[in-house]
Each structure stands twice: as structure tokens, then as C-alpha cells.
Structure 1
Amino acid sequence: MVIQDVINHLETLAPLHYAEDFDNVGLLVGDKNKKISGVLVTLDTIEAVVDEAITKNCNLIISFHPIIFKGLKSLTGKNYVEKTVLKAIKNDIAIFAIHTALDNAINGVNDIICNTLGLINKRILIPQKGTIKKLTTFVPLGNANTLRSQLFKAGAGNIGNYDNCSFNTEGLGTYKGNENSNPTLGEKGVLHEEKETQISVTFNKHLESKLLSTLFEHHPYEEVAFEVTTLDNYNQNIGMGMVGELQNSQDTMTFLAFVKETMKVSCIKHSKISKQTIKKVAVLGGSGSFAISAAKRAGADILITADLKYHDFFSAENEIILADIGHYESEQFTKNFLVEYLSKKITNFAVVLSTTNTNPVKYL
């Protein structure tokens, strides 16, 4: 097995197409065709983690956060980023970062938090826009069923709880091939009329290349007429944060104590206790101040997130309780999840959970 094989499993879980534009995800260091000796999974890649990978004979590090976030203009070891990258390169260790691709995945970071807290009726808090596309093509009536079926197999036509979704219109297509053409139906140089079906299917944008390959492979025409458009619809299965509900309402202070214990938090910074009971809970792992308005609109009683600044807490405005549990703390179970996921997919070498505590924040 090579590095790309592991990447393929990770991209099935969290396609990199859905990472945020500001992010730097994917294979950051190393050769994707390198044979794997072992995989080490961590929240952050720092020098100590590379040392751990060396000790445990792992030549691939799966990191939640990217060690290379901004552009590197040199590799001289003048800071922790350069030192880490240099050590990885010298020891032939690859580094892959998944970050906001997993943040935006329906079964990703925020789902992990929801499950840890026992939330039900979960949904994406801030659905991502611009991730749903539509393919429209035109095919002879006799070929429509076969082509449509192949597009479905490739992943088109999935909408919420439904699959095999399409819209079809019958009409008359015309064409006339030039002297260099080789028409499947009709003769070159002669205007041809053909009864056709217009097939329209929606698909998630990371499938575009696969869908087009399927279209060209199974469409009978020499020249395939098609168009791909990006829809304005929000994708209810991709996006930042989640909102869910407790099985039963809880006293606010009891719930905060539960969060502190369950999420293994040393302390919780929170806004004014403006609600005496908690039922609906919004969560967003990592820095989540941008989700305050969305959590309010969702009717959440509390937003559990991290990295809230002083003035962010004023934004609660007695409509919601804001709880900052710490950046590392909100994402700490992610590496356990990735180890469990990869261990089920890969059985011929070790997938190792890093024991290095990479949290740079310490509490007295």
C-alpha cells in the first residue's frame, strides 16, 4: 500500500473539495507513491510528533491541522514550522492535513462533538453553498436509460434521503457533421434529426471529473453536448458546525458541568447564564465566533466552540449562552476518530494514535 491509497480513504470520508478556501489541506510533505510502513495520527504536527513517527516506524503522519498554513519562503529551521518540515523531509516522512475538509464533513469534527455529548436530531449549522452542481446532456431515446443508470452509479442524482433523481424531457435534436466527422447516427454532410432525451442530474462538486468521464464513456455520440452549472442551493450535508438536541432538557449549570467533564476541559469561559435550562445545542469545533448568528437563528440555547474574544461574549445578548471550551479541547477526539476509521479500512499495517500532547495552551 502506498500513501495515495490512504489519502483515497480519507477523501472518501472528507473530500478536500469542501475545505475552506483559506485552508491548506492535502499532502503537504512527501511522495504520494511511497510505500507505507505505518501511519501516525495526530491533531497537530510538531517536531515531537515527527520524532514519535520515527520511533514508531511510521512514514506517514495524518494531521488534523496543517503544519504549513501560509507560504514558506525558506527552509532554514528558523521557526517551529520550518524545523518540523525539515525533520520530516530528512527522515522521509510524509505529512497529510485534513482540517476544514473534515470540519465540513457530515460525519466529521462537529458530529464527533455531538455524539460525545449525546445529541440527537443533528443537522449542519451553516450549510455550504456552491457545492451542488447540475449536469445536463442530450442523448438518443434508446440510450437514455443506460446513460442515466451509469450516471447514477457514478454518484449523480442523490438528493437528501433520495437517490436516482433526474429530470428528463423528450425533444428533437439536429446536427450536420462536416467532412471530418464520423456520426454514430446519420451521415456526414447531411442534416440529421434525432429524437433525444434531455437528462438533468445534480451531483456534489467533488464528483465532477468522475461524472464527466462516465458521460463520455457511455454516451453514443462522437461529440457529446453537455453543460455543467453550479447551483445556489445550500448543501444540507456539508458545512460548518452542527446543531442538535439533548434527549431531555437539563439545568444549565448541570449541563455545563457535564460538558466540562465529558470534553475533558480544565475550565469553560461562558457568557451570562441567560437560560435556566438547555435543550438545543449548537457546536463548532475550533474557532467559532463566526457561528454565533447562525446558532441564534437555529434557536440554540447554547453554542459550544472555542477562541471567543472578549467582545464576542457581548454578542450573546441574552439570546444564547456562549461557551468557550478551548481550541484543542473541542477537537481533541478527532484523532481517535480518524484512527478508528482508518483501522477499519486498512488492516495490513499499523494505524497509530499519537500520544504526544500538542496543546500549546497550558492552565494553572
Structure 2
Amino acid sequence: MSMSTYTTDKASPFTMAVISSMRKLYPEALADKSFDNTGLLLEAPFDPIRRQMNSVLLTVDLTKAVADEAIERKDCVVVAYHPIIFKGLKSLTLADTQQQSLLRLALEGISVYSPHTAVDAAPGGLGDWLADIVTGTLPEPEPATRTAHPEKSETNSIEGEKKGDRSGESGTPSSDEDPFVEKTPKQRPTRMSLQRTYSKPTYPKHTDRGEPELEPSSSSHHRRVIHPITNVPSFPSAGMGRLVTFSHPQPLTHLIERIARGVGNPKGFPVAIPQSRQVEDMDIRTVAICAGSGASVLKDVAADLLFTGELSHHEALAATERGSCVVTLFHSNTERGFLHSVLKEKLARTLREEWKRVREEGLREGAGLTPEWEDALGDGDVMVEVSEMDRDPYGICILQSSKQVGTPLS
């Protein structure tokens, strides 16, 4: 068989090592199979002609931009937290952008693995990371918001760019522009100026142990799983959602600050409180936590604060009517920081051990190996990186001014 037509009926040995590493860390049995579609969603066959780097790209969403990034980087596997395939496909065509990405990745020999709710449920997973943020204090981050790979239409200041003003390129409003800072009312200019930013956080650094560098918890508390999972004996404390109960009530303002710093969010995010109450006056004893869309997990949970990625209007209204507060961050902003702060180093450490084992076992077989397979096993490199193109679809538009003349800023 000529090398130009050489392919196999199985994935590369490095791909299999990545999959087994993810399954060790986050068994698929932990996932909520009532709706989720976790596991190996795209298995690209091993092709030595298009052999990829021994590298993994982590992302929350496998968008077209992330697929382009993986192809350019020559990654072997994309670990996409959200499954790119949720329901059965009746066709694969180039007309659909998600299917287009899958076809292009397969052509390039790149596989796709999605862990999703298995990561949410696992001890030390996404739920516990968010609980760590609420209960502890993270190191002071660098300026956390800047425009992430802006398109020409996503400039920080429409009016400023026309005038050549580059002072706002960081995407962080100055104190004079910040709508969350009290200021003396002033007349609006006659031109509209928008600032549009995406979350581009600085996450906690890792120690030699590979864990985020968290300061000791400043608030003693009890933590429990809201919906325990009992069918995986090796993970006895697994389950969906976390309920934190502080030994002493915590000011809501302190928890909001911890959350903002911990996830590296932009200047503002939604907070809902009961009518006739003030954020500054509220104390919180219990916090119910769920990454992403928390409605089903947090339903009927009695807590002073619901902390999640998103709730619908009516769900948030029902919570505040019961006397609870709500903090939402946009769906994936409760998830993306985990890739940087925890998963990158955790997977790299596990994958190095697993790849060493796979290589040693494979090379011991000797005679049964093709030269191409043996060559693949001879590469001891392991790289795990987080996508630079992945971001929540929502940014924050800050209205700096209005076309209306003579109206004071509120």
C-alpha cells in the first residue's frame, strides 16, 4: 500500500491516551445521560501522512473559530466541554457550520471529546471550583477585561476609533467612563459611542501540585452535593450542584467581589435581589451553585443566593419573590475559567503518565507494530493548551453617550 493512501481503522495512540486520561479524571458514568451527550464524539482515523502534534486544545464551545485554531495548531484532540453533537444527525453537510467544523476536523485527523456534566459532577470538578471561589479569596488578578480578538465591527469605542483615539484598546473603561462609578451628571455629546468587551480573564496560577493558587478560605463553611450520584463507587462525593452553608453570614457584596475576581468577569454582571432590599445591606448564609444553566439543578433548593451561569427571567423573578438573590455570569463564563485554572494542568499531568504507559506497552509488542505506528509511539511530547478563540457569545456593550442632546446621564 502506498503511503499516499495509508490509513487505519483506529485513532492514533495519542488520541486514545487522551480519551483514557479524561475518563480517569471524569468518568462518563458521572454525566447526566437524561439529556447530555458526553464522550468521544468524533474519532479521526490515524493517518501518518497528516499526523498531528501530540497536543490537546481545551475549549468550552467548539466554534468555527476554535476549529480553525485547532487545525492551524495541528492539535491531535479537541476537548470541548460542551458537546458539539447533542442530538442524532441525519446528515453531515457543509451547509451547517457545526457539521462543517466536524468534517474539516475529521479531514485533518483531529478527534473531539466532550466531558460536559461529568466535569460538573466530579469531586474537584467544576462545581467544587465555583464553590472554592465563593468560599475563599483568589489572588488579585491582573486587569481582567480586554477585547478578545476583535472583529473590525467590535471596536472598543466607535467614536474614538474614528478620531484615532487608542486609549481604550484594553477594553477596560477609565474611571471617567465607567458607568458603575458615581459621577456628576453631564450633558451627552451628539455622537453615540459604544464600548464592547469580552471576558479575557487572568486566572489563578498553579502551584507545583498543579492546583490553583488559592489563599486559605476566609469563610468557614459546610459544603454538600445537591443531587448526589451513587452509581460510581470510586467517586463517592460526586453529584450535580453544590450547596454552601457558611458558619457565619457573609455580606453579599463580599461574595460578589469574590465571584468577580475568581472568574475574571468584565466590569458588570447581572445580580437580582428581592424588591425593597439593597445589595449593601444583605447577608448570605447559604449559596446554591451550578455551572451553566442552573434552573433544573437549583430548582426547589432553599438558599439565600443562587450562583449560576444563567436563569430565565421568570426563574430569577420566582427566586427573588421567595427572598433569594441571584448572580448570573452568562452561561460559559461560569465554565471557562476552570479550563485555565484546573483542567489544563490536571489533564497534562494525567496524560503524561498515561502516554508513558501507552508508549511502553506498545513498544514492548515490537513485532506487531507497523513502522508508522512505532514512529508515533516514539514521540514522547505532551502538550495541553486552552483555546485563545473560545469565548462566550455575549459581550457587554456600555453606552458611553447618546445621539440625544441635552439629556443628563442617569
TM-score band (shorter)?
0.5 to 0.7
1:271 is aligned, of 266, 273, 280, to 273
2:385 is aligned, of 347, 352, 359, to 352
The alpha-carbon deviation at position 279 of structure 1 amounts to 2.9
Amino acid at match of 2:327: A
C-alpha distance in structure 2 between counterparts of 1:51 and 1:43, whole Å:
15
1:55–1:301 distance in 2 versus 1, CA, 3 Å: same
Partner of 2:41: 28
Partner of 2:129: 112
1:64–1:325 distance in 2 versus 1, CA, 3 Å: same
Superposed CA deviations along residues 116-150 of structure 1, whole A, max 9, x for unmatched, are 23354322122136x26xxxxxxxxxxxxxxxxxx
Amino acid at match of 1:238: A
Amino acid at match of 1:338: L
Gapped regions of structure 1 (runs ≥ 5): 133-202, 205-234
C-alpha distance in structure 1 between counterparts of 2:247 and 2:129, whole Å:
17
2:291 is aligned, of 266, 271, 285, to 285
Partner of 1:361: 394
Partner of 1:92: 109
The alpha-carbon deviation at position 31 of structure 1 amounts to 4.0
Asked if the contact 1:47–1:80 (Cα under 8 Å) also holds between the matched residues in 2, the reply is yes
Amino acid at match of 1:279: R
The alpha-carbon deviation at position 245 of structure 1 amounts to 4.1
Partner of 2:78: 61
The alpha-carbon deviation at position 98 of structure 1 amounts to 0.4
Partner of 1:7: 19
1:29–1:251 distance in 2 versus 1, CA, 3 Å: same
Asked if the contact 1:113–1:283 (Cα under 8 Å) also holds between the matched residues in 2, the reply is yes
- Return the TM-score normalized by structure 2: 0.58
Partner of 2:255: 255
Partner of 2:347: 342
Asked if the contact 2:134–2:255 (Cα under 8 Å) also holds between the matched residues in 1, the reply is no
Larger Rg: 1
Asked if the contact 1:241–1:283 (Cα under 8 Å) also holds between the matched residues in 2, the reply is yes
How high is the sequence identity, in percent, across the aligned residues?
27
Asked if the contact 1:25–1:98 (Cα under 8 Å) also holds between the matched residues in 2, the reply is yes
Partner of 1:237: 237
Q: Which secondary structure does the structure 2 equivalent of 1:78 belong to?
A: coil
C-alpha distance in structure 1 between counterparts of 2:64 and 2:224, whole Å:
37
Partner of 1:210: none
CA-based RMSD? 2.4
C-alpha distance in structure 2 between counterparts of 1:122 and 1:8, whole Å:
30
1:236–1:349 distance in 2 versus 1, CA, 3 Å: closer
Amino acid at match of 1:270: A
Q: Which secondary structure does the structure 2 equivalent of 1:250 belong to?
A: strand
- Return the TM-score normalized by structure 1: 0.65
1:289–1:271 distance in 2 versus 1, CA, 3 Å: farther
Asked if the contact 1:106–1:124 (Cα under 8 Å) also holds between the matched residues in 2, the reply is no
Q: Which secondary structure does the structure 1 equivalent of 2:238 belong to?
A: strand
Amino acid at match of 2:316: F
Asked if the contact 2:228–2:239 (Cα under 8 Å) also holds between the matched residues in 1, the reply is yes
C-alpha distance in structure 1 between counterparts of 2:313 and 2:236, whole Å:
32
Partner of 2:335: 331
C-alpha distance in structure 2 between counterparts of 1:77 and 1:39, whole Å:
25
The alpha-carbon deviation at position 322 of structure 1 amounts to 2.1
Asked if the contact 2:288–2:298 (Cα under 8 Å) also holds between the matched residues in 1, the reply is no
1:304 to 2:299 alignment: no
Partner of 1:127: 228
More off after superposition, 118-127 vs 245-254: 245-254
More off after superposition, 279-288 vs 266-275: 266-275
Amino acid at match of 1:301: D
C-alpha distance in structure 1 between counterparts of 2:46 and 2:248, whole Å:
50
Gapped regions of structure 2 (runs ≥ 5): 1-12, 137-220, 353-380, 398-410
1:18–1:292 distance in 2 versus 1, CA, 3 Å: closer
Superposed CA deviations along residues 216-257 of structure 1, whole A, max 9, x for unmatched, are xxxxxxxxxxxxxxxxxxx86221111224575322234224
Q: Which secondary structure does the structure 1 equivalent of 2:393 belong to?
A: coil
The alpha-carbon deviation at position 338 of structure 1 amounts to 1.5
The alpha-carbon deviation at position 95 of structure 1 amounts to 0.5
Q: Which secondary structure does the structure 1 equivalent of 2:237 belong to?
A: strand
Q: Where does 1:32-181 land on structure 2 (aligned, <5 Å)?
A: 37-119=54-136, 120-128=221-229, 131=231
Q: Which secondary structure does the structure 2 equivalent of 1:237 belong to?
A: coil
Partner of 1:313: 316
